[in-house]
């Protein structure tokens, strides 16, 4: 069972889109996946088509009033389960911060799942902020997957994430950057290709070969509670995320040994 945090402190970069669609594409390939929505906004929850309801999130588990295993629900997709989000999670930012073990609460909660579950991967869809929930996600994770938009400020944001990983390693020494996924690629502009080239220059092994294109379908699909492979199964978006899932599996099966310290950016 491998825990993978999908995070970027900047919003609007395709983080939840990547979490939802990579998880569903892997489940389509027969991998047993648990998707955990750590964002109180619950975008991953609604994008999967799960109705939001109080009491379903990890909030009670984080404050010691429930078990994580009791929060797992089935989805309509084979091999894909979920722990949804609700607005109560916003309270965790305050209440967990008061606890002595506030940095490791999520790790302890997920460790309690132990070998009782048959998940190959647990994906943590972290909120786009440097708060308690995102920090807990990184402390709990084995790897960090970074969605990075093909836009001007991408490298600046990436530098901040790298610095954060270095700090988190004081608490979670096993955390590594498992990969960078370039998102919102616009083939009509030179800027998108320039950003991809720049990031690959700094992180030649970390950047996935699969690039996620900009598509209006990614914005439409969540409003129907569907991942892209269900909303437009033969479209460019679904093709891209299926390719990403295949590359992800290949990387995991022959795990590349990355440098132990992240490179500096900029």
- What would the pLDDT profile of 217-238 be if each residue is shown by its tens digit? 999 999 999 999 999 999 999 9
Whether the predicted model's global pTM rises above the 0.85 cut: yes
Mean pLDDT of the chain: 90
Q: What is the mean pLDDT of residues 164-192?
A: 93
Q: Please give the pLDDT value at position 255.
A: 58
Strand partners, 124: 5, 36
The band of 209, judged by pLDDT with boundaries at 50, 70 and 90, is very high
The band of 158, judged by pLDDT with boundaries at 50, 70 and 90, is confident
Question: Is the pLDDT confidence value at 168 over 50?
Answer: yes
Q: CA nearest 13: which of 33, 50, 43?
A: 43
Q: Please give the pLDDT value at position 130.
A: 84
Q: Please give the pLDDT value at position 261.
A: 38
Q: Please give the pLDDT value at position 262.
A: 37
Contact between 215 and 187 under an 8 Å Cβ cutoff? The reply is: no
The CATH number, out of the four listed (2.70.98.10, 3.10.180.10, 3.30.1120.10, 3.40.50.300), of the domain defined by the range 2-253: 3.40.50.300
Every domain of the chain and the residues it spans:
2-253
Q: What is the mean pLDDT of residues 54-78?
A: 92
Distances 22 to 50, 115, 117, 123, 244 between C-alpha atoms, Å = 17, 23, 20, 9, 7
Q: Please give the pLDDT value at position 157.
A: 80
Q: Please give the pLDDT value at position 154.
A: 78
Distances 196 to 137, 155, 203, 209, 211 between C-alpha atoms, Å = 26, 10, 10, 10, 9
* Range with the largest mean pLDDT of 10-14, 46-50, 96-100, 259-263: 46-50
Q: Please give the pLDDT value at position 116.
A: 61
Strand partners, 213: 185
Q: What is the mean pLDDT of residues 180-201?
A: 92
Residue 167's CB is within 10 A of a number of other CB atoms, namely 10
Q: What is the mean pLDDT of residues 114-141?
A: 90
Q: In this predicted structure, which of 53-57, 114-118, 194-198, 212-216 has the lowest mean pLDDT?
A: 114-118
The band of 115, judged by pLDDT with boundaries at 50, 70 and 90, is low
Q: Please give the pLDDT value at position 257.
A: 43
Q: What is the mean pLDDT of residues 143-158?
A: 88
């Amino acid at each position: 069972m491998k825990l993978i945090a999908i995070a970027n402190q900047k919003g609007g970069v395709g983080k939840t889109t990547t979490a939802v669609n990579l998880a569903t594409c892997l489940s389509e390939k027969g991998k047993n996946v648990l998707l955990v929505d750590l964002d109180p906004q619950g975008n991953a929850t609604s994008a999967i088509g799960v109705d939001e309801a109080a009491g379903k999130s990890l909030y009670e588990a984080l404050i010691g009033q429930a078990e994580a295993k009791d929060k797992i629900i089935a989805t309509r997709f084979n091999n894909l389960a979920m722990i949804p989000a609700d607005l109560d999670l916003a309270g965790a930012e305050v209440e967990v911060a008061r606890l002595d073990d506030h940095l490791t609460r999520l790790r302890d909660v997920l460790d309690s799942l132990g070998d009782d579950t048959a998940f190959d991967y647990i994906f943590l869809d972290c909120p786009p902020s440097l708060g308690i929930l995102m920090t807990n996600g990184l402390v709990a994770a084995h790897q960090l997957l970074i969605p990075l938009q093909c836009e001007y400020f991408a490298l600046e944001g990436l530098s901040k994430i790298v610095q954060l990983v270095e700090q988190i390693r004081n608490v979670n020494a096993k955390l590594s950057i498992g990969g960078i996924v370039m998102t919102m690629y616009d083939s009509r502009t030179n800027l998108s290709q320039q950003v991809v080239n720049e990031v690959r220059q700094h992180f030649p092994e970390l950047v996935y070969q699969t690039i996620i294109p900009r598509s209006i379908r990614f914005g439409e699909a969540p409003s129907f509670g569907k991942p892209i492979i269900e909303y437009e199964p033969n479209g460019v978006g679904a093709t891209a995320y299926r390719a990403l899932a295949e590359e992800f599996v290949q990387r995991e099966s022959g795990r590349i040994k990355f440098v132990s310290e992240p490179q500096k950016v900029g």
